[in-house]
Structure 1
Amino acid sequence: MKLGCLNLTLLLISVHCLNYSWSENSQQQKVSALTVLEQTEENIEKKKEEVTVEDDLDPEDIEVFYPTNEWQIIKQGQAIPAGLHVRLNLETGKNEAKLPDDGDGKSGLKYWKQGSRHGMVNTDSESFTAEELKRALKLMKQEGNTETEEGHQEQVRKTFRPIKELMENFKAMNVVMETDMEVIDKLVSKFNSTSVTLEDKVAALHDLEYYVHQVDNAQHLTSTGGLQLVINALNATEPHIQEHAAFVLGSALSGNPKVQIEAIEAGALQKLLILLATDQPVAIKKKALFAVSSMLRHFPFAQQQFLKLGGLQVLGQLFQAKGMESLRIRVMTLLYDMVMEKKLIQEAQDNTVQHQEKCRQYDVVNLLPPMLEQDWCMLVPKLLTSTEHDTREKVLRTMNLMISSCRNEYRAMQGLISLLNTLRSEYEELAAEEQREGEQDGYFQGLLNSVNDIIKKLG
């Protein structure tokens, strides 16, 4: 019992001493004001570290100036709140500051700001508590964020247009935006108008050709009657209209079975063959031949109609016509493609119903026999005299395709064997050069193989 009383007495004495010590320390550290400063860019650069204000920052870790009613030395680079008395001590040569005299000695809690610096000043006799300091820091942080946000919003307003203005502009843009089909309708209407000039009609056809390369656009032109207008324009009296109409037609037909069917039923093939058979400028014949090629490729019914309408004879005349040398390769390439097209279909290993139907359609297209009857065996080899390798390639390819039927004509053709031997020597050198450069199966090796195949079959 006595031991317990002794312990209690010692505990009370310790508590009393602790309270007394805390009171003495509080009196010694009591100040009349406290300034909280943000770190400036200069201070940050000096310290080589980044300072961040947090809600729970310890106030003892912040560099502050404690103004009192007594003059205190202002350290170099230390900021002080506005409103303090400042003087230069002539004895020491240093700047000093103190709180202003307010009469009653009470000025309360004040917020100060100087440029980018801001803080809180407590001029009461009591110093800041930890909670007061946290609230002050939080207030400054919020105020700084508000200013930053306001500046950001102002910068956004200067840089970007308001959303309402943008929406109005988008709305205006949508008014003038048109689909391809709408443009095609306007071009057809312009071309069909009687109040526009010849140049306007030609320009409309020129623009129309650009759009009908697309399958859907070409089919739209057909469904709205525009294709018929273009086909009718092949009979126009103005050569520029005929030329551009044939160009539009050829582009619309390319790889587009629906348009091919519509065009053949509308009589386009007959009109194109007339342009090729009659006296027309080279530009018109070139575009008409392009349209015929687009009509016939992968369309056996059109190929059959082509033969019935005497199209092979028309191409033969065009091939031999004076001044049409630039079209000879195009004619020969078209005939080769049609013969090879049928051959590939017949040789394909396909037992589907669709393939059987294709074979049936190509069976009625007999292009090679009439080509032999119309001396194409003698016409094709003449192009071997060309100096262009691309032309020679197409001629050799066509000759190889026809050689089983044209062997006797090739043998009887004066100078052909000699010409083939000359080409073989030339391509042997070019192929050897390719091999030295590391190309074992190069372009010229392929040409050499074609020449050797023909020579071997004729031997």
Structure 2
Amino acid sequence: MLKQILLVMGLVVGVLTQHVMANSAALTVVHVEGSEDETIVEDTDGDSPVVLEKFIPTDQWQTVQEGQAIPAGLHVRMNFETGSKEAKLMSDFRHTDDAQGHQYLGQKEFMREELKKAMKNLKATDLDNKDSKPSGEFRSYEELKKDFADMNANIETDAEIIARLLLKLNNSDTPSEELQLTLTDLEYYLHQYDNAILFGDAGGLSVLLGILNKTENMDVLKEAARALGAAISSNPKAQIRSLASGAMEVLLRLMAVSYDTTVQRKLLFAISSQCRHFPYAQKRFVDLGGLSVLQKAFNQPLSDKFKMKAVALIADMLMEKIVTEQNTSPELSTDLEKLRQYKEVDLETLLVDKGWCDRVPELLMSHDHEAREQAIVAMETLAHTCQQTFSKYLVTVRLLNTEYRDMVSDDSGYFQHMVEITDNLLNKVTNKNNGHVTDEL
């Protein structure tokens, strides 16, 4: 940019110089200190200087007399017909009476150097007093608590929060609405493994079971079931404590007497958290009639969401047993003990006896793609156990396979996945029947 400006100035100066040299008189521009309205042009061949008025720019082109000073920021051009220099205001300038003779009305632009200078002069606001430590220095937790205490900030660790919430749960005078909010807050913290351990160590699982046993408020019941499920999910120590405290009995009893679909879903979440990867809990579930309780709830006019979760739980328990059988190392006593516990759960026989081989394919009729997906995955897992029953649904599975093949162009990800799992199910069921398939509904 600077080079371009210098080049233009050089061209202008060159033209002016040629014009001056072409005249007999030599003019010298003399700027008089303190004079803003006039420019004195000295005639070197004359006896007295010529005083020129200040150039006042307008929106129209005007001739600039030789030697006459012009304000910065104007449009300037050479008139090649007359040989004179002309100037006018830019479109973003307005004439005023100030010394510059113009005022810029456009948006102010900050040049790079101006920004750099401004950034250098910018000082961070000092929020600490003069006696405080440098911001980069490590400060202990106790020091931070003390500083924030002056600002009325109450900082609590997760352990302190859980202890405070547990006190509210133990207080029989806590109103139902506040109890519900406390359980909601607690559920958020219990998803963290260490917090769930702390909660269990403090007797929190027994407190939750007490609330589940006593409350008649459905909102409180839902939140208590959610909190229990969060506390024991993927947490073996908490699962053992919960089962020893009688959680399975409480949850199945509530499931059997509840007709609220939302409550049933929350209870099923807690039951699933108790059973997954815990064969002893699965045995307790089966021995207490868990499949019959789920069957009763399944037969109610429930949403597909509950049925999906019920089918997923059954399929997952069966898959855990299959995977354990396939991956048990005879040299590891822990693997052998785990396999022994899974074999104590005769899930396959119970599924056939309780009619689950017919119940799972019901989700194939759903308009929900996720429900269909869950049914197909579960049927593939149960194909060995329910091979005779599933053969009646092969026509339906083929129709779904064709439907999803036609939809692949719209979504080559999810619907392609649906094509693949229906292919797998068809292959598995037909192979189990040695090629003799009954295409009946």
Q: TM-score, normalised by structure 1?
A: 0.60
Of structures 1 and 2, the larger Rg is shown by 1
CA apart distance, 1:164: 2.8
**Residues 328 and 339 in structure 2, CA contact (< 8 A), matched pair in contact too:** no
Cα deviation for residue 285 of structure 1 reads: 1.0
C-alpha distance 187-445 of structure 1, shift in aligned 2 (>3 A): same
Letter in 2 for 1:193: N
Deviations 1:180-234 (A, max 9, x none): 0111010111122233322111111111111111111111111111221111111
1:267-282 counterparts in 2 under 5 A? 267-282=246-261
* Structure with greater contact order relative to length (CA < 8 Å, sep ≥ 6): 1
Structure 1: give runs of 5+ residues left out of the alignment: 1-75, 78-154
Q: Does 1:161 align with 2:128?
A: yes
Q: Residue 344 of structure 1: CA displacement?
A: 0.2
Amino acid at match of 2:230: S
Match of 1:243 in 2: 222
2:348 corresponds to 1:368: yes
Q: d(CA) in 1 for partners of 2:428 and 2:372?
A: 13
Q: Which residue of 2 aligns with 1:453?
A: 427
Contact residue 428 and residue 448 of structure 1 kept, 8 A: no
CA distance in 2, matches of 1:193, 1:364: 42
Percentage of matched positions with identical amino acids = 31
User: What CA distance in whole angstroms lies between the structure 2 residues aligned with 1:202 and 1:246?
Assistant: 11
Judged with a 3 Å threshold, the aligned counterparts in structure 2 of structure 1 residues 160 and 302 are, in CA distance, closer, same or farther, namely: closer
Q: Structure 1 residue 444 and structure 2 residue 423: aligned? A: no
Q: Which residue identity lines up with residue 162 of structure 1 in the other structure?
A: N
Q: Do structure 1's residue 384 and structure 2's residue 358 form an aligned pair?
A: no
Structure 1 residue 371: Cα displacement: 0.6
Report the counterpart of residue 18 of structure 1 in structure 2.
Answer: none
CA deviation map 1:281-304 (0-9, x unaligned) = 222111110000000000011001
Give the deviation of 1:279 after TM superposition.
2.9
Q: CA deviation at 1:158?
A: 7.3
Please, which runs of 5 or more residues in structure 2 have no aligned partner? Answer: 1-31, 34-121, 134-138
Could you tell me whether the CA contact under 8 Å between 1:181 and 1:220 is conserved in 2?
yes
* TM superposition shift of 1:383: 1.2
Q: Specify the alignment match of 1:346 in structure 2.
A: 325
- The alpha carbon displacement at 1:407 in A equals 2.7
Structure 2 equivalent of residue 49 of structure 1: none
1:349/1:243 CA distance change after superposition, 3 Å = closer
Pairs aligned (count): 302
- Aligned pairs for 1:310-321 (under 5 A) are 310-321=289-300
Normalised TM-score (structure 2): 0.63
1:242-261 Cα shifts (integer Å, max 9, x gaps): 11111100000101111111
- Shift of the 195–314 alpha-carbon distance from structure 1 to 2, 3 Å rule, reads closer
Post-superposition offset of 1:389: 2.6
Cα deviation, residue 157, structure 1: 10
1:36-435 equivalences in 2 (<5 Å):
159=126, 161-164=128-131, 171-173=146-148, 176-235=154-213, 236-348=215-327, 350=329, 351-411=331-391, 413=392, 416-431=393-408, 433=409
> What's the Cα RMSD here?
2.9
CA gap of 1:394–1:228, structure 2 versus 1, over 3 A, is: same
**CA-to-partner distance for each residue in 1:352-402, whole Å, 9 max, x for gaps?**
222122112111111111010011111111111112332222212222222
Distance 1:265 1:233, change over 3 A: same
Which residue identity does 1:362 align to in structure 2? Answer: Y
- Contact persistence 2:376–2:422 (CA under 8 A): no
- Higher helix content, 1 or 2: 1
Alignment partners' CA distance in 2, 1:328 and 1:408:
22
